[in-house]
């Protein structure tokens, strides 16, 4: 018999009373009628189990002596099927053995003796439901905590993925930016070398030798990049000098011309300082004529106070320069140039840099200072080649201007045009003297 004493909300708790005596059930119904919890009633253990299959019960209060299924048997079954349900034993007999069996098999939480004290009985029921609510709240809190932990884990994973993706994008952007600066510096260097009275290709040879020296001196890669840029652009300040000054060899400069000429490192620094990526290269260009003994210019720095890149640039630049008429009335060969550097080591040059140049076994091909034009077909194009003439189609459409440095994308495009018979004209290129990047 399933009797409901009230319709209190589910969250207040649900109690199932089980007793084979109807007067006892009626008494329990009257006792709990006005309480703030829902009550169910059953006259046997079997009926109670049927109710529990259909409804969640928080607390079971069962009589001990019942036919067919005793109280301790019923509570043992409840313990097995519904371990979260609190179990009370309602008994009026003094059979110690049955009570111990109910305690062991049914896992009861409390004994309530017949006849009971109404107030204490209600108090016991409320305490049992309070325990249920606490356990329920703990489970909810545990579930919420676990869900939040999983959510946080997912968010952290997503954040890591986003950071990783953005880091990859940033690195790709940095590589693209570095590639852009490399192309800019090489193109600018090529442009500088075409100024009247400057030696074409000289800056590239200087950069090549600086790169080899940096390898031997184990210069850190970032610093090597600045030295590479400085070597390619070390003559940028000379663009501001008049032709009559640049038209004479350095050894033939006198008086006022020499003073004007000596301003080119400072002019070069000023020209490049506004470009963030070239600030350090600009400083190396400023000090490229500082001598190891302090007799150089513009700041008369001494020894280790001169930036390493500037010391490398000076020695490499003059090793190449004294093999041309630009620095000497009678050029020296490579062996004589090296002897000159060794003779002035510790005075004009850093001894360590001089020995590094010697270890490169560098043989200068002076003819390479006037790069020879070469005519190639579209099949022979390669990244890094420099166009020596404007490249136009048969219809007169300009594809790439003179001085442009071919990239892989450009090469692929030109090969495609050539394969389609849209590019039949000869392509005039100059092979760059510098093929290795620091």
Q: Does one domain contain both 289 and 383?
A: no
Could you say which DSSP state residue 397 is in? -
Q: Give me the number of domains the chain comprises.
A: 3
Read off the pLDDT of each residue in 305-326 and give the average, rounded to a whole number.
90
User: Which pLDDT belongs to residue 95?
Assistant: 56
Could you tell me if residue 52 is inside a domain? yes
Read off the pLDDT of each residue in 193-216 and give the average, rounded to a whole number.
81
User: Which pLDDT belongs to residue 197?
Assistant: 60
Q: Is the pLDDT of residue 118 over 70?
A: yes
Give the three-class secondary structure for 16.
strand
Q: Does one domain contain both 329 and 204?
A: yes
User: Which pLDDT belongs to residue 3?
Assistant: 47
In a 10 Å sphere around its CB, with 0-12 CB exposed, 13-18 middle and 19+ buried, how is residue 102 labelled? buried
Could you tell me if residue 125 is inside a domain? yes
* CA pair distance 247, 241, nearest whole angstrom: 10
Q: What CATH number did the domain enclosing 337 receive?
A: 1.10.3210.10
Per-residue confidence at 290, pLDDT binned at 50, 70, 90? Answer: very high
Q: What's the chain's average pLDDT?
A: 81
* CA pair distance 379, 415, nearest whole angstrom: 6
Q: Which carries the bigger pLDDT value, residue 288 or residue 327?
A: 288
E strand or H helix at 209: helix 202-216
Q: What CATH number did the domain enclosing 81 receive?
A: 3.40.50.2300
Least confidently predicted of 118-127, 360-369, 399-408: 360-369
Supply the range of the domain harboring residue 380.
Answer: 374-430
The residues, ordered by sequence, that sit 6+ positions from 387 with a Cβ below 8 Å of its Cβ are 400, 401, 402, 403, 404, 406, 427, 428, 429, 430
- Domain end among 321, 345, 369: 369
* CA pair distance 325, 394, nearest whole angstrom: 42
- Domain end among 325, 343, 369: 369
Q: Which carries the bigger pLDDT value, residue 389 or residue 15?
A: 15
Q: Does one domain contain both 110 and 30?
A: yes
Q: Is the pLDDT of residue 286 over 80?
A: yes
Q: Does one domain contain both 283 and 385?
A: no
| Backbone φ and ψ of 401, nearest 5° | -80, 160
| Backbone φ and ψ of 216, nearest 5° | -70, -35
Could you tell me if residue 177 is inside a domain? no
Q: Is the pLDDT of residue 191 over 80?
A: no
Read off the pLDDT of each residue in 350-371 and give the average, rounded to a whole number.
75
Read off the pLDDT of each residue in 90-103 and give the average, rounded to a whole number.
61
* CA pair distance 345, 32, nearest whole angstrom: 109
Could you tell me if residue 211 is inside a domain? yes
Q: Does one domain contain both 205 and 347?
A: yes
Q: Is the pLDDT of residue 65 over 90?
A: no
Q: Does one domain contain both 96 and 222?
A: no
Q: What CATH number did the domain enclosing 396 receive?
A: 3.90.105
Q: Is the pLDDT of residue 252 over 80?
A: no
User: Which pLDDT belongs to residue 266?
Assistant: 93
Could you tell me if residue 165 is inside a domain? no
* CA pair distance 326, 251, nearest whole angstrom: 8
| Backbone φ and ψ of 88, nearest 5° | -115, 145
Could you tell me if residue 166 is inside a domain? no
Q: Does one domain contain both 401 and 363?
A: no
Total residues found in the chain within this entry: 438
Q: Does one domain contain both 215 and 75?
A: no
Per-residue confidence at 405, pLDDT binned at 50, 70, 90? Answer: confident
Q: Does one domain contain both 221 and 345?
A: yes
Q: Which carries the bigger pLDDT value, residue 146 or residue 354?
A: 354
User: Which pLDDT belongs to residue 434?
Assistant: 39
Q: Does one domain contain both 365 and 378?
A: no
User: Which pLDDT belongs to residue 321?
Assistant: 86
Structural tokens at position 323? 């093999």
* CA pair distance 347, 402, nearest whole angstrom: 43
Q: Does one domain contain both 330 and 419?
A: no
- Domain end among 369, 397, 419: 369
Could you tell me if residue 151 is inside a domain? no
Q: Encode pLDDT of 7-51 as tens digits.
A: 555 567 899 999 999 999 999 999 998 888 899 999 999 999 999
């Amino acid at each position: 018999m399933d009797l409901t004493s009230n319709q209190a909300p589910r969250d207040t708790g649900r109690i199932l009373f089980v007793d084979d005596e109807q007067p006892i059930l009626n008494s329990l119904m009257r006792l709990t009628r006005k309480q703030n919890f829902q009550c169910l009633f059953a006259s046997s253990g079997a009926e109670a189990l049927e109710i529990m299959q259909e409804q969640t019960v928080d607390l079971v209060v069962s009589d001990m002596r019942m036919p067919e299924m005793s109280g301790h048997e019923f509570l043992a079954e409840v313990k097995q099927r519904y371990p979260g349900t609190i179990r009370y034993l309602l008994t009026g007999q003094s059979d110690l053995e049955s009570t111990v069996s109910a305690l062991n098999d049914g896992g009861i939480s409390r004994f309530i003796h017949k006849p009971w004290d109404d107030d204490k009985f209600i108090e016991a029921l409320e305490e049992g439901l309070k325990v249920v609510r606490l356990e329920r709240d703990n489970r909810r809190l545990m579930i919420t905590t676990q869900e939040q932990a999983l959510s946080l884990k997912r968010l952290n994973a997503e954040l890591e993925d986003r950071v990783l993706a953005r880091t990859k994008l940033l690195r790709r952007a940095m590589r693209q930016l570095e590639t852009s600066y490399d192309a800019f510096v090489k193109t600018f260097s090529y442009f500088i070398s075409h100024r009247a009275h400057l030696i074409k290709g000289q800056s590239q040879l200087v950069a090549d030798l600086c790169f080899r020296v940096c390898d031997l001196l184990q210069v850190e890669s970032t610093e090597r990049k600045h030295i590479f840029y400085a070597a390619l652009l070390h003559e940028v300040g000379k663009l501001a000098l008049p032709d009559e000054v640049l038209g004479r060899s350095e050894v033939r400069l006198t008086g006022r011309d020499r003073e004007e000429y000596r301003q080119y490192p400072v002019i070069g620094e000023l020209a490049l300082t506004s470009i963030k990526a070239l600030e350090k290269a600009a400083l190396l260009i400023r000090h490229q004529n500082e001598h190891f003994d302090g007799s150089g210019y513009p700041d008369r720095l001494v020894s280790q106070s001169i930036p390493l890149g500037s010391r490398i640039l000076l020695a490499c630049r003059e090793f190449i320069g004294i093999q041309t008429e630009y620095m000497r009335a009678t050029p020296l060969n490579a062996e004589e140039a090296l002897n000159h550097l060794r003779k002035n080591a510790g005075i004009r040059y850093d001894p360590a840099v001089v020995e590094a140049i010697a270890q490169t076994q560098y043989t200068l091909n002076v003819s390479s200072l006037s790069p020879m034009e070469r005519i190639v077909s579209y099949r022979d194009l390669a990244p890094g080649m420099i166009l020596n003439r404007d490249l136009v189609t048969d219809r007169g459409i300009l594809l790439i201007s003179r001085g442009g440095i071919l990239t892989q994308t450009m090469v692929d495009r030109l090969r495609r045009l050539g394969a389609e018979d849209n590019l039949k004209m000869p392509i005039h290129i100059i092979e760059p003297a510098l093929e290795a990047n620091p």
